[in-house]
Structure 1
């Protein structure tokens, strides 16, 4: 069925078939979020407000080093023992980081979730950062840099352009000259401050809430500590460019997006993203010759700010007129079929909610920043009117940021458009 034909009643019915997450704050300060969909695989996440924005300006690349230490020794157990224990429970384990949070995710058979939690607590909150293991971690950081795609490069750089030297401009990746800069003691100090109950969240999908709460209250792995508040990072706008050989150019153009705890802003941003994303959007039809579907929405929300815009893959000859047309379209953006666009936005949220890993990540971020649940955003989307969209657009694209990678010397700078 085409998304534009889905009715509000069908959306409501869909929402009712999905379990609502249960949130609790334990006496030790740890946030706990559970959502039992009755699935056979449990998704477990232990995360902290410790993403790349929590690095100081002299610590660029530190979070990348810490993230890649997962699987190494912890304070009470050898890393190999924990990895084998995870595998023996039928689980998969990996670390992740965003600008707001840093954590560890495990996927395990439901009947081993309680045992897996004991592994997760040790791995995520008690890394040992032994000096002799640092040399083993450095090749994995270099490998991460070699795997960066053109989109990944301009996505990182749009944060540098938009937020400049503020905390949201801090990259998720260490630069080449930053690899190996950090010693064991510096990583331990960061973990001691950030990997604590009052700064963390435990998320479980397809696991009993009582199991999560009991572990959160009774485990001895996560140390006591207080919430760590991030520095504000307002959208400033600007440009960031990297040149490379060839004729291809990759560009992201973005404006001020929604912060992750403002449900009305998030709803409006979801609608704008849906308008940009669809290949039949008037915006992409106007800026891309022949209606070529080479543009996709860029939407990111953080504590205190966000980004909304578009990614374009074009040629050097086409890049400047394309960028100019895109900015003009953004600043004059009108959605003729608002109801259809709202339905596409709702469908996108519902589609993403079927991926329990993404859901777990979103629940962790929302809990640590008092953000709304997906159902609340859907309800708000249904209330959005044309004046709300117009107001969001006016604020969002008053200033813009542009990141470009490739043969990009001919692209006009943002303050000239």
Structure 2
């Protein structure tokens, strides 16, 4: 069946896990067969890299990976690769969607499309005797998509379903938020389309993107269950791609920062990261993978509570409630993220995150030989387990082909892991822990000051937020509240009472967190060139000069608690205005709040 998977992480990215199976088989595993066969790689004159593994399997798998992931999307076409991914298998210039689906499914095959920030990945699986027939449909899907307007429209519900699944997965929401604040440039782009871009990608935009990025020198093809010479012949027949580099460079820079996302979860999720390393530097990737393993990647046995890792032991001391904590190591072609994720109750999340980060810093300075020995065994085992999945193996081999132009064997991989020393890890880890950081958190909005106050007045859904609107000579500061008609009076009163209380008492810690958040949100807004143009023009008119981002950050840091409380007290004692919309029978009047 034609399937459209959401995403994947490479072998040396987030630790790959496989469920333990109770079944046994006398057949050799994929990994064992792979060890017994020789990987062959050929780089064609047009730059296309072809790798094969004739593993004697009756199933042939052909993977095509194109360096055209989300990071290469134009700024005004965000989410375009999400549309590409979800339209894999639709009509092409030579084949109808019915023809592709019927012919592949008729022989029990499958065509899968996946995306990362780096790459678009297509995998064809079928009985090896039908490979020649189905390669035409794989080739058409990649090189000759039609992007018919009515099919783009028909595809919208699939993208909305993707977004629905995405929003229900708090870990994915957290990681996407982390990327959005950690990077400037392509790696900030999400692998999911923003809501406002659903249905906005035209036939012309999609076709132009494929024409610019789906070129031979940005492509690798991997074949399992096929002889190398046969694969080269098939590639020559079906994948006559042009050479060039006409697309977006995808250039990215790690800038760090902080973002907070309101969700409907009763658990607070936090990710803290620094810039890791790119996938091209194998030694550094392995060093961080071993540090990740030493810190812990969550429970590996279903009944385990995950407390018996370094991170788990540290966080367990801060809470008696259930929690989850894990180290992660994500590598892209030229950068990466290394850090920890923590999930805990709202009342314990601050202590839990602090304990996890403290343990990360401590481990960066001190690792024993025994810990490293155990970590090496564990990392090699998890990699070999992941390699048992032939699709994971296809993706990994193709990614290595694009990143390095060659593929490391499992035997050489094990040797590379064994060569890493304690000094290698601590040197790199110390450097990372002293660099800029990025942080993302997600939880229910009621865990803000206003949210906590209003939550005490209602058990129904609500929304509350402070706002600050400035004009050239005046402005508005206040709160907005949305709640059920029966609770709106109490909710508004609670929000106004909290506003007045905060105007009189702000802690140094609250101000420190607010400064980080304000600077991060400003830097994120400045990523939008239209917002930046408007802001610069407004400053020019209002003050006759423009403040740089560096001076803006200094100005934010110079604000004191006294500055805020003095002005806030003045505002809360001045005249007020109020507007209400909706069923108003229980809505408060302004005089009720004064």
Q: TM-score, normalised by structure 2?
A: 0.64
- Cα 1:374/1:305, change in 2 over 3 Å: farther
Aligned 8 A contact 1:300 1:307 in 2: yes
Measured in 2, the distance between the counterparts of 1:45 and 1:409 equals: 47
Q: Which residue of 2 aligns with 1:380?
A: 416
Note the 1:233-248 alignment, pairs <5 A: 233-245=252-264, 247-248=266-267
Cα offset, 1:139, TM superposition: 0.9
- Cα 1:246/1:131, change in 2 over 3 Å: closer
- Cα 1:120/1:413, change in 2 over 3 Å: farther
**Higher RCO, 1 vs 2 (CA within 8 Å, ≥6 residues apart):** 1
Note the 1:236-315 alignment, pairs <5 A: 236-245=255-264, 247-275=266-294, 276-277=296-297, 279=306, 280-289=308-317, 294-315=324-345
Q: Counterpart of 1:332 in 2: which secondary structure?
A: helix
The one of 156, 169, 172 aligned to 1:138? 156
Matched, 1:316 2:336: no
Aligned 8 A contact 2:121 2:395 in 1: no
Cα offset, 1:393, TM superposition: 0.8
Alpha-carbon deviations, 1:337-395, whole Å to 9, x = none? 11111111111111111111111111122111217536344322101111111012112
Cα offset, 1:156, TM superposition: 1.3
Note the 1:31-110 alignment, pairs <5 A: 31-110=49-128
Cα offset, 1:95, TM superposition: 0.9
- Cα 1:313/1:182, change in 2 over 3 Å: same
Measured in 2, the distance between the counterparts of 1:306 and 1:316 equals: 29
Measured in 2, the distance between the counterparts of 1:116 and 1:238 equals: 47
Q: Counterpart of 2:81 in 1: which secondary structure?
A: helix
Q: Which residue of 2 aligns with 1:3?
A: none
- Pick which of 314-323 and 40-49 moved more: 40-49
Measured in 2, the distance between the counterparts of 1:135 and 1:115 equals: 29
Alpha-carbon deviations, 1:113-152, whole Å to 9, x = none? 2322222111122111112211111111111000111111
Aligned 8 A contact 2:37 2:54 in 1: yes
Q: Counterpart of 2:135 in 1: which secondary structure?
A: helix
Q: Counterpart of 1:317 in 2: which secondary structure?
A: coil
Q: Counterpart of 2:37 in 1: which secondary structure?
A: coil
Matched, 1:369 2:403: yes
Aligned 8 A contact 1:252 1:310 in 2: yes
Aligned 8 A contact 1:100 1:302 in 2: yes
Cα offset, 1:313, TM superposition: 1.7
Q: Which residue of 1 aligns with 2:176?
A: 156
- Cα 1:270/1:134, change in 2 over 3 Å: same
- Cα 1:331/1:277, change in 2 over 3 Å: same
- Pick which of 347-356 and 102-111 moved more: 102-111
Measured in 2, the distance between the counterparts of 1:306 and 1:377 equals: 20
Matched, 1:396 2:415: no
Q: Which residue of 1 aligns with 2:357?
A: 327
| Structure 2: gaps spanning 5 or more residues | 1-30, 299-305, 450-509, 518-594
- Pick which of 51-60 and 328-337 moved more: 328-337
Aligned 8 A contact 1:349 1:374 in 2: no
- Cα 1:284/1:400, change in 2 over 3 Å: farther
Cα offset, 1:413, TM superposition: 5.1
- Pick which of 96-105 and 27-36 moved more: 27-36
Cα offset, 1:154, TM superposition: 0.8
Cα offset, 1:231, TM superposition: 3.3
Q: Counterpart of 2:254 in 1: which secondary structure?
A: coil
The one of 194, 202, 227 aligned to 1:183? 202
Alpha-carbon deviations, 1:301-341, whole Å to 9, x = none? 10110112222221111111111222222122133311111
Give the number of the structure whose alpha-carbon radius of gyration is greater: 2
Q: Counterpart of 1:106 in 2: which secondary structure?
A: strand
- Cα 1:384/1:253, change in 2 over 3 Å: same
Measured in 2, the distance between the counterparts of 1:204 and 1:273 equals: 31
- Cα 1:341/1:60, change in 2 over 3 Å: same
How many matched pairs? 403
Q: Counterpart of 2:279 in 1: which secondary structure?
A: coil
- Cα 1:104/1:313, change in 2 over 3 Å: same
- Cα 1:70/1:222, change in 2 over 3 Å: farther
Q: TM-score, normalised by structure 1?
A: 0.89
Query: For the aligned residues, what is the CA RMSD?
Result: 2.5
Cα offset, 1:406, TM superposition: 1.0
Q: Counterpart of 1:142 in 2: which secondary structure?
A: helix
Alpha-carbon deviations, 1:47-90, whole Å to 9, x = none? 21100001122221111111111111111121211111111232
- Pick which of 281-290 and 165-174 moved more: 281-290
Measured in 2, the distance between the counterparts of 1:118 and 1:99 equals: 27
| Structure 1: gaps spanning 5 or more residues | 1-12
Q: Which residue of 1 aligns with 2:251?
A: 232
The one of 442, 467, 470 aligned to 1:405? 442
Measured in 1, the distance between the counterparts of 2:448 and 2:392 equals: 37
